[in-house]
Amino acid sequence: MDKRACGGRTAQWLGRARYGRDRFGIQSVLLGDIDGDGKVDLLTHSYSEGILAVCLNTSSSGRIDTNSFAPRVEFPCGPHAARMALGDLNGDGKLDVAVPNEDEGTVSVLINRSMPGVIEFAPRVVFITDHAPLHVGIQTWMVVACPIS
């Protein structure tokens, strides 16, 4: 193994952890601090089950292994969920989730109500689209007004 790829240290494989259960596979894996504790949590969702799963990061500083994430907490996100996106949609500083529902022709939005150590989302809000969406994106914009001189 090339030690340069690991900052001069030898990497060690610590094992395998399974976070999804869908027979069609996990559609997306995203990382983001969902509960606001400063640690990056793991989010997955299944295509056929329409379930968003969040695994809270319980790691200690400097170590990630197969015990670093709490058991999954599940939230319904709509049927045939395609590739999800994270972003603060309502300006409260928390990462919300948007999930396109391909066969339903909708996008589901789950507003984050979590606090440190507790994962919670409001029930999904459904937006109808013209076509079968496969992807969504969330972009944060900042508008700055400057006087014209």
What is the predicted pLDDT for the residue at 14? Answer: 47
> Which two structure tokens, joined as six digits, stand for 20?
């999804």
Distance, CA of 47 to CA of 39 (rounded, Å): 26
Q: Which residues of the chain have pLDDT under 50?
A: 1-6, 10-16, 19-20, 22, 142
* pTM metric for this prediction: 0.76
CB-based contacts of 10-14 (< 8 A; 24+ apart in sequence)? 14/64, 14/65, 14/66
Q: How much is the pLDDT for 39? A: 93
pLDDT, the chain, mean: 79
Question: pLDDT tens, 72-110?
Answer: 899 988 887 778 889 999 999 999 999 888 888 888 899
**CA pair distance 119, 117, nearest whole angstrom:** 7
